[in-house]
Amino acid sequence: MQVQVQQWNQQLTVCIPAAIAAQMQLQAGMHVDLEVVDGKLMLLPPQPNPHLDQLLAEITTDNLHASIDTEEAIGQEAW
């Protein structure tokens, strides 16, 4: 399906036909991710931000980095 690229203020826009919006369950005000993949513009549902507990659960002895020595404090920082 072809649609026309239009200019709205200083941005280019593309109207998404209602049938495609319904198929993708898109709604006005919804956030989506835009990516260019192999020269094609992709409109993707956003990936949910993981909770800290989920991130911490993925830490293993294999992917845990070693301690980093940051030397002596230079300014007002205190550890």
Summarize pLDDT for 35-59 with one digit per residue, the tens: 999 999 999 988 888 899 999 999 9
Question: Domain with 45 in it: what CATH number?
Answer: 2.10.260.10
In a domain, 19, yes or no: yes
Residue 68 clears pLDDT 90, i.e. is over it: no
Range of the domain at 14: 5-57
In a domain, 39, yes or no: yes
77 or 43, greater pLDDT: 43
In a domain, 31, yes or no: yes
In a domain, 78, yes or no: no
Number of domains forming the structure of the chain: 1
In a domain, 79, yes or no: no
- pLDDT interval class at 11 (50, 70, 90): very high
Residue 79 clears pLDDT 70, i.e. is over it: no
* The predicted structure's pLDDT at residue 48: 85
In a domain, 68, yes or no: no
* The predicted structure's pLDDT at residue 72: 81
In a domain, 71, yes or no: no
DSSP the chain: ----EEEETTEEEEPPPHHHHHHTT--TT---EEEEETTEEEEEPPPPPPPHHHHHHT--TTTPPPP----S--SS---
Q: Which residues sit opposite 11 in a β-bridge?
A: 8
